[in-house]
């Protein structure tokens, strides 16, 4: 969720210094952990793909978000890092927004010519499955061009993580290259201007934390806020100032825009000492290309 320019500046000054702090999630994941995250990520993708098949022209963002939350709760999810997001058309670009509540799903109505972004973050058996998915009801040339570029970027990102580049340098390279190719950097409008964040196994409470009342943080559960705070926050976030260790599991979410369209993907990247790879190659945006769609 994006924030105002003055707030980003304040966070930027803190980020470089605090990102070096050691976090418990800076570690090599076990096979059990990778399997747990894979299960959570696949359920999240199943949610957005099945929601897409149900969506029709005239649906609102809030109806779509509720549809995704119902799907996940029907499949046993009780805790979310954040509630489902749905952004239609120009809303997926976040141009000129100043307040947190402007980024929440709202009453915007989907037209057949618009693209959209769906973003869900269920916690499954303690594992976070935070994903983003871009699509449209009918073929959309701007979206197709954006996703073609993002898939090229997807192939490069693991190489960046095993290079000598710091996380901050990765952020800036992606920013420069996207702009050189005619795209706007939308993730620069996120809190802390994050390109991604770490994922880790969370401790499940015996009850679900309530959602916060309508406010700047109302789309994040108390459980989600608690997890980020107890993991020291800034070492967990891939910001333009991050100088810490790259090892671990990252939900990477490059979000770009062109014209009236915003598009992104978000999925888990595994970073080990001498290699980096996507947790799953059977994700919808990759399968779509393999199927020739």
* H or E element at residue 136: strand 131-136
* Residue 209's pLDDT band (cuts 50, 70, 90): very low
Q: Which of 66-70, 148-152, 237-241 has the lowest mean pLDDT?
A: 237-241
Which tens digit of pLDDT belongs to each residue from 262-290?
A: 999 999 999 999 999 999 999 999 998 77
DSSP 197: E
Quote the percentage of the chain above a pLDDT of 70: 79
Give the model's pLDDT for residue 66.
96
Whether 280 is in a domain gets the answer yes
If one counts the domains in the chain, the total is: 1
For the stretch 167-204, pLDDT in tens is 999 999 999 999 999 999 999 998 788 999 999 888 76
Which range of residues forms the domain containing residue 184?
Answer: 26-206+215-291
Structure-token pair, residue 42? 């696949």
Give the CATH number for residue 38.
3.90.230.10
- CA atoms of 40 and 279, how far apart (whole Å): 11
pLDDT classification of 114: cutoffs 50, 70, 90: very high
* Highest mean predicted confidence (pLDDT) among 74-83, 112-121, 185-194: 112-121
The answer to whether position 4 is within a domain reads: no
Q: How far apart are CA 142 and CA 237, in angstroms?
A: 29
Domain-embedded: residue 10:
no
Residues 9-20 pLDDT 10s:
554 555 544 445
Q: Average pLDDT over the chain, rounded to whole?
A: 85
Q: Which of 22-31, 163-172, 240-249 has the lowest mean pLDDT?
A: 22-31
Q: Provide the pLDDT for residue 190.
A: 86
Q: Which pLDDT score is estimated for 267? A: 98
Count of alpha carbons within 13 angstroms of residue 248, beta-carbon side: 23
Which range in 90-94, 101-105, 205-209 is most confidently predicted, on average pLDDT?
90-94
Please indicate, yes or no, if residue 40 is contained in any of the structural domains. Answer: yes
Q: Which residues share a beta bridge with 80?
A: 122
Inform me whether the pLDDT recorded for 7 exceeds 80. Answer: no
Tokens coding 190: 């996120």
70 in a domain, yes or no?
Answer: yes
* Lowest pLDDT segment from 97-106, 227-236, 238-247: 227-236
- Is 90 exceeded by the pLDDT of residue 162? yes
φ, ψ dihedrals at 84, nearest 5°: -60, 140
Instruction: Determine the Cα–Cα distance for residues 66 and 44; give it in Å rounded to an integer.
Output: 14
Residue 225 CA neighbour count, 13 Å, CB half: 11
CA separation for the pair 272, 198 (Å, rounded):
13
Examine residue 121 and state whether it is found in any structural domain, yes or no. Answer: yes
pLDDT at 219: 46
Mean pLDDT of 218-244: 63
Domain assignment present for 224: yes
Q: What is the pLDDT of residue 124?
A: 95
Give dist(CA 155, CA 145) in Å, integer: 16
CB neighbour burial string for 111-140, b if at least 16 within 10 angstroms, e if fewer: eeebbbbbbbbbbbeebbbbbbbbbbbeeb
Does residue 21 sit within a domain? no
């Amino acid at each position: 969720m994006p924030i105002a320019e003055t707030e980003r500046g304040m966070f930027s000054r803190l980020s470089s210094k605090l990102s070096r702090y050691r976090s418990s999630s800076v570690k090599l994941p076990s096979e059990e952990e990778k399997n747990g995250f894979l299960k959570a990520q696949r359920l999240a993708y199943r949610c957005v793909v099945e929601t897409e098949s149900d969506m029709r022209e005239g649906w609102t963002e809030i109806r779509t978000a509720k549809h995704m939350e119902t799907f996940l709760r029907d499949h046993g999810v009780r805790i979310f890092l954040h509630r489902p997001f749905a952004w239609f058309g120009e809303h997926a670009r976040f141009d000129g927004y100043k307040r947190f509540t402007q980024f929440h799903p709202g009453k915007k109505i989907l037209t057949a010519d618009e693209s959209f972004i769906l973003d869900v973050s269920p916690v499954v058996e303690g594992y976070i499955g935070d994903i983003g998915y871009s699509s449209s009801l009918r073929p959309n040339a701007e979206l197709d061009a954006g996703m073609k570029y993002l898939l090229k970027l997807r192939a490069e990102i693991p190489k960046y993580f095993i290079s000598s580049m710091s996380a901050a340098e990765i952020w800036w390279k992606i920013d420069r290259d996207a702009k050189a190719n005619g795209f706007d950097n939308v993730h620069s409008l996120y809190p802390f201007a994050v390109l991604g964040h770490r994922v880790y196994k969370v401790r499940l409470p015996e009850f679900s934390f309530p959602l916060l009342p309508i406010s700047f943080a109302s789309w994040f559960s108390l459980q989600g806020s608690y997890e980020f705070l107890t993991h020291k926050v800034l070492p967990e976030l891939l910001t333009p100032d991050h100088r810490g260790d790259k090892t671990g599991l990252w939900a990477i979410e490059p979000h770009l825009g062109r014209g009236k369209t915003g598009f992104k993907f978000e999925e888990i990247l595994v970073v080990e000492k001498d290699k980096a790879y996507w947790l799953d190659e059977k994700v919808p945006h990759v399968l779509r290309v393999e199927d020739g769609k």
